[in-house]
Amino acid sequence: MESYNEQVGNTVVAVDIGTTKVCAIAGRRTQHGKVEILAVSKVDSEGVSRGVVSNIDKTSKAIAEAVKSIQNRIKADVKKVYVGIAGQHIKSLQHRGILMRENAHTEIGEKDLERLINDMYRLVLPPGDKILHVYPQEFTVDNEPGIIDPVGMSGVRLEANFHIVTSQDTASSNLKRCFERVGLHVEEIILEPVASSFAALTDEEMEAGVALIDIGGGTTDLTIFHEGILRHTAVIPFGGNVVTKDIKEGCTVMQQQAEKLKIKFGCAIADEVTDNRIITIPGFKGRDNKEISEKNLSLIIQARLEEIFDYALSEIRRSGFESKLIGGLVLTGGGSLLKHIDLLAEFHTGLQTRIGHPIENLAHGYAPQLSSPIYSTSIGLLIYGINNSKADGVDFWESEPMNTALQNNYHIEHEPFSDSSADGGGQVVEKKKTSTLRGHKLGSFFETAFRKTQEWFEAAPDNDFR
């Protein structure tokens, strides 16, 4: 039986830096090829705007809190992490590369493919941009097109079409700087919608053709797969926060109240609201209560979601794969939790739609909360990290202090890690972002949102919403 030390030695840690949350997750691969989640920690994010770091100090503190909680639970020093990146600065382009080989009779090998791919990283880009990922689409060997894997073939002229993803150099540099401040090394930066696909999509869907729409807090990310190959990526500058802002302005309520209305009473299709209840929001400081129609609330939400799906459909058409998406749409991210959002997407795009839960590759025994779409990116980053890990990601410790850069910069109160089950369960810990972090059991997604609005409704409990 594998010892606890051996478990930790194989552990990988990933961090999802989102607009609304910073989520750190630790896990390892089981002997059956599944991913075992050892620990998860989620804290509020205040230094990120639309997926881009806007305040390095606040983001660093959130990272420190999340990672230190992970370290305490797996009893290991985290040295390197896998990190996701998103934002409006992400762009994509198509390019064709050519490699002339010296001998037509020798087999094409992996080194030939590496040379061809490395040539793509030498492309001249607009100032300030850098290449993040290079994805081969299909190869051509001596004018014979449509080859998926040319390794082992013979030929002189090797060509390939590439999908290239670029990011702003300053955005990735600022992201790395946040981790360097707390003594962590960023092993690799991965495009977040690509990471989400590892967690939420099946191999059959990627082969058949599918579009993944990840509705986050600040942005909505789109990835398209066909024949198992990533074909298109795009970032839409709207997310769940824009829906909340619309509710705030349309109903003239506070931001926290708007968020609570969206989560508890929000519906993506106004026609599905049949009883049209009146929601009463308690006034504060002696002001009158405010009454809001549930149907009017849903009309505000539906209008913004339809705009998001319009952008997504436009990108799908621009990719040229609209008629090839046999697998339809998969919605994930926190925004996909809105009631009937899958039906709205289906009606608006004409494509079959399902909600993507990040459990496709998880071992049995995971915490039930991890099936929520809000964890798709973080679990996807972990899967990518496990597949590409070079080990030495964590160091086991018993009585030694944790990472000194983290320990010296930020004080955190810890609670002991408990291994939930022999078959691979993990402990999920959700935290409010404060100077001193106290562990408490993860509640449901709805309970989390309610806690955020407590200061506004201390005098009136939730049952005052009628």
Average pLDDT, integer, range 385-394? 74
Mean pLDDT over residues 354-382, rounded? 92
Q: Are residues 101 and 190 in the same domain?
A: no
One domain, residues 95 and 158: yes
User: Do both 291 and 249 map to the same domain?
Assistant: yes
**Which among 167, 191, 225 is the end of a domain?**
167
Do residues 411 and 434 share a domain? yes
Task: Please state the rounded mean pLDDT for residues 382-394.
Answer: 78
Q: CA geometry: angle at 66 spanning 72 and 454, to 5°?
A: 115
Tell me the average pLDDT across 62-68. 94
Q: What is the pTM of this model?
A: 0.81
User: Picking from 80-94, 132-146, 261-275, 409-423, which range would have the lowest pLDDT averaged per residue?
Assistant: 409-423
Q: Can you state the angle between helices 255-265 and 445-452, rounded to 10 degrees?
A: 160
Measured between alpha carbons, how far is 227 from 397 in angstroms, rounded to an integer?
A: 45
Whether 225 and 325 map to the same domain: the answer is: yes
Same domain, yes or no: 76 and 183:
yes
Indicate if the pLDDT at residue 331 is higher than 60: yes
Least confident span in 15-19, 47-51, 227-231, 343-347: 47-51
Give the mean pLDDT of 327-348: 95
Taking only the tens place, the pLDDT of each residue in 181-215 is 999 999 999 999 999 999 999 999 999 999 999 99
Average pLDDT, the chain: 83
Give the per-residue pLDDT at 435. 35
Give percent helix, percent strand, percent coil of the chain, each to the nearest 5. 35, 30, 35
What H or E segment, with its residue span, contains residue 26? strand 21-29
| pLDDT reading at 133 higher than 90 | yes
**Most confident option among 3-7, 103-107, 306-310, 453-457:** 306-310
The per-residue pLDDT for 395 is 59
Say yes or no: 318 and 243 in one domain: yes
Average pLDDT over residues 29-49: 89
- φ/ψ of 252, rounded to 5, equals 50, 60
Per-residue pLDDT for 415 more than 70? no
Q: Quick one: pLDDT band at residue 390, thresholds 50, 70, 90?
A: low
Same domain, yes or no: 225 and 161: no
Tell me how many domains the chain contains.
3
Q: Residue 138 sits in a domain of what CATH number?
A: 3.30.1490.110
Q: Do residues 314 and 303 share a domain?
A: yes
> Which of 52-61, 374-383, 399-408 has the lowest average pLDDT?
399-408
pLDDT tens for 449-465 read 444 444 444 444 444 45
Tokens of 346: 């289906």
pLDDT recorded at residue 393: 58
- Percent of the chain residues topping a pLDDT of 70: 82
**Which of 146, 167, 188 corresponds to the end of one domain?**
167
Report angle CA 444, 446, 450 to the nearest 5 degrees. Answer: 115
What is the pLDDT, as a whole number, of residue 284?
A: 75
pLDDT higher than threshold 90 for residue 426: no
Low-confidence winner among 294-303, 331-340, 441-450 (lowest mean pLDDT) = 441-450
Cα 209 → chain centroid: 21
Measured CA to CA, the distance from residue 375 to residue 377 in angstroms comes to 6
Give the structural domain span for 255. 205-355+461-466
Domain boundary among 118, 145, 167: 167
Q: State pLDDT tens for residues 158-168.
A: 999 999 999 99
Q: Which residues make beta-bridge pairs with 395?
A: 77
Phi-psi region of 257 (alpha: psi -120 to 50; beta: other; left: phi over 0): alpha
**Mean pLDDT score, 287-302:** 91
CATH code (residue 443): 3.30.420.40
What mean pLDDT comes out for the span 436-447? 37
Are 187 and 225 members of one domain? Answer: no
pLDDT the model gives residue 389: 79
- Confidence band of 275 (pLDDT split at 50, 70, 90): confident
The secondary structure of residue 40, as a DSSP letter, is E
